Structure 1
Amino acid sequence: MSEARGDYALCGWRVASALPLPDLSHWSGDARAPDVTIAFGAVPAMAEPVLETALVQIDAAGRARFAINSVADFLVEEGARITVAPRPGVADSEIRLFLLGSGLGFLCHQRGVLPLHAGSVIIDGTAICFAGASGSGKSTLADAFARRGFPVLSDDVSPIAIEGTGARVLPSLRRIRLWGDALANAGWPPNEVERCRVGLEKFSRSLHAAPAPEAVVPGAILHLRALDPGDAGPRFTRLRGRHAVEQFRRQVYRWRSLTGMIGVPAAMARVAAAAAAFPLHYTLDRPFEFGALDTLIDDVVDTVRAAR
């Protein structure tokens, strides 16, 4: 376990971390104090949580504690501090997997930023988000867009900063994670790949070779659904009104925890404001085939441009 202190950038925030974070860019902004501090320390269980699941506790102050067996306990406080209590002998890469997953989600909620379970790329200066559950192909699509030269904002969790009647999609982690079959299709050099977790056939590759993107305004959100074998596709179905808002809400990362932190009415108001900032909402039914990726990218670009 390294104790080196690093200075990093995440979502435009300055992050001081006792844990090395190669998934992030180094901070190159002003000399302000860190917005977020990540430190090692004790993480006791909460005495009186207002929300409790098998893994997560939320207290009345909005603090979030979560525990991952054999990895670490984490405490996220006030959108400004994450304390990590690692298990003995755990690898840094395993801690980062959860720190920059659930930890990032809780951090966003506490800072008033809405994390979507979505990958995001930039097309014509706007963010196009691909939303879906784990395994729906978000990272595979992000990697395919990256290979075509489109900047990647995120491959898995896309933070949405609400600003008055508008919003921006913030740049997230500087890496893409792929499962083994998608990794083989991507053709990544073995020396550029890191296994995310021991025993897990999921691998990470850095995006640091590409310029770090800036936050951009939302352009569209596409909710990914797999077509049955033999079905023609892809199919883009426009969503509007409450149907668009409800589909959007379903993709909020750690939604139940957000309602525990701020209550259902405030959480729904945050969702409605973020959803309204996206001019285009679609479901995207497409074949889950690696050979169809290039054609799918062309279809996505053409559909988004034609709808503007």
Structure 2
Amino acid sequence: MQVRVGAVPDDPETPDHLGPTWRLVGRRFYLEVPGVLRLMVEGGRDIVAEPLEAASDADIAPFILSTGFAAILHQRQLLALHAATVAWQGRAIALCGATGMGKSTLAATLCRAGAGFVGDDIAAIRTDAPDGVPMVWPDGRQHRLWADAIEHLALAERQGEPIRSHMRKFHVAPETAAHPVEVALPLAAVVLLSSRDRNVPPGPPQIERMPLVDAAPMLRAEIYRPYLARRMGNDPLLFMQTAALLNRVPVFRLDRTRGLEYLDEGAALVIDAVTGAA
């Protein structure tokens, strides 16, 4: 993949699909965030980012690494899940959930317990390996944690620059930064994070293995930027990729109260469940 900063050319062709801030011309993707950047992604390999007005590198980077990276993966026809990913005993665990569900915080807790860091927000998965085992690629990123999670996990010494200039969310070097995961790993499990109602008193988390009939629609809901995949015509392929994953990989649901309580207990449940399913 190549990312460069430069002028995004105007495309004379009529868009095939058009959204509030994006458009698709064939499989070429354009994004415009007012006052921040214009972005073009094509060929499953090239991203051109054009900063607007006084936008800094820190302002444009989150859009490149989220929507831009997702467009690359969908152009390559890979399965992209909204997940933080860690490595345990040579295999990957994908922690899926909506924004704000605590994927990155749980991943950091697992790394503190000895897991390796694989990726923060998007899991790029291939399901066409000869032996049928889904493989996850590391993305070379760091944790992205809110200030209260950094304090709770005692990671202040690893704290880096803010994600965006106005946010109290920061890049944080993983515990295993000196020994990064650099190769694709077989996917051991998917863990779907669910949150109890805010009115429920805090209590220990619970984990359960999900039957396929329940796991399938919930996993489909975790595809990253699904509107791009659909508009690129990837829906039939995504159905087959999801089915292939579910045929080989157990899916668990981790039910927790919101907040930072019981993080260690949640991490222990994940490790025990994945180890027991091996």
TM-score (norm 2): 0.89
Query: In the superposition, relative to structure 1, how do residues 116 and 191 fare at CA in structure 2: closer, same or farther (>3 Å)?
Result: closer
1:121 equivalent to 2:70? Answer no
Structure 1 match to 2:196: 227
1:124 to partner: Cα distance = 1.9
| Residue of structure 1 aligned with 2:243, choices 265, 269, 272 | 272
Structure 2 match to 1:26: none
1:48 equivalent to 2:14? Answer yes
**In the aligned structure 2, how far is the partner of 1:231 from the partner of 1:133?**
20
Structure 2 match to 1:130: 95
1:37 to partner: Cα distance = 4.7
Structure 2 match to 1:38: 4
1:50 to partner: Cα distance = 2.2
| Residue of structure 1 aligned with 2:72, choices 107, 118, 124 | 107
Uncovered stretches (5+) of structure 1, i.e. residues with no partner: 1-14, 16-35
Structure 1 match to 2:260: 290
Structure 2 match to 1:179: 146
1:307 equivalent to 2:265? Answer no
Structure 1 match to 2:135: 168
Query: In the superposition, relative to structure 1, how do residues 37 and 277 fare at CA in structure 2: closer, same or farther (>3 Å)?
Result: farther
**In the aligned structure 2, how far is the partner of 1:274 from the partner of 1:104?**
21
1:240 equivalent to 2:211? Answer yes
- What letter is aligned with 1:285? D
Query: In the superposition, relative to structure 1, how do residues 173 and 220 fare at CA in structure 2: closer, same or farther (>3 Å)?
Result: same
Within-5 A mapping of 1:65-76: 65-76=30-41
**In the aligned structure 2, how far is the partner of 1:154 from the partner of 1:216?**
12
1:59 equivalent to 2:25? Answer yes
Task: Pick which of 104-113 and 163-172 moved more.
Answer: 163-172
Query: What secondary structure, in the 3-state scheme, does the structure 2 residue paired with 1:101 have?
Result: helix
- What letter is aligned with 1:248? L
**Contact 1:51–1:257 under 8 Å retained in 2:** no
Within-5 A mapping of 1:247-266: 247-266=218-237
Query: What secondary structure, in the 3-state scheme, does the structure 2 residue paired with 1:54 have?
Result: coil
1:190 to partner: Cα distance = 6.2
Query: What secondary structure, in the 3-state scheme, does the structure 1 residue paired with 2:134 have?
Result: strand
Query: What secondary structure, in the 3-state scheme, does the structure 1 residue paired with 2:185 have?
Result: coil
- Alpha-carbon RMSD: 2.1
**In the aligned structure 2, how far is the partner of 1:191 from the partner of 1:281?**
31
1:294 to partner: Cα distance = 1.4
1:202 equivalent to 2:173? Answer no
**In the aligned structure 2, how far is the partner of 1:216 from the partner of 1:63?**
29
| Residue of structure 2 aligned with 1:281, choices 229, 240, 251 | 251
1:39 to partner: Cα distance = 4.2
Structure 1 match to 2:118: 153
| Residue of structure 1 aligned with 2:179, choices 206, 211, 232 | 211
Query: In the superposition, relative to structure 1, how do residues 109 and 156 fare at CA in structure 2: closer, same or farther (>3 Å)?
Result: same
**In the aligned structure 2, how far is the partner of 1:69 from the partner of 1:186?**
36
**Contact 1:161–1:168 under 8 Å retained in 2:** yes
Within-5 A mapping of 1:9-28: 15=1
1:271 to partner: Cα distance = 2.9
**Contact 1:227–1:233 under 8 Å retained in 2:** no
Identity among equivalent positions (%) equals 28
TM-score (norm 1): 0.81
Q: Deviations over 1:168-225 (max 9, x none)?
A: 0110132111122212213333684211112222111234833120211011111101
Q: Which runs of 4+ in 1 moved over 4 A?
A: none
Structure 2 match to 1:24: none
**Contact 1:43–1:83 under 8 Å retained in 2:** no
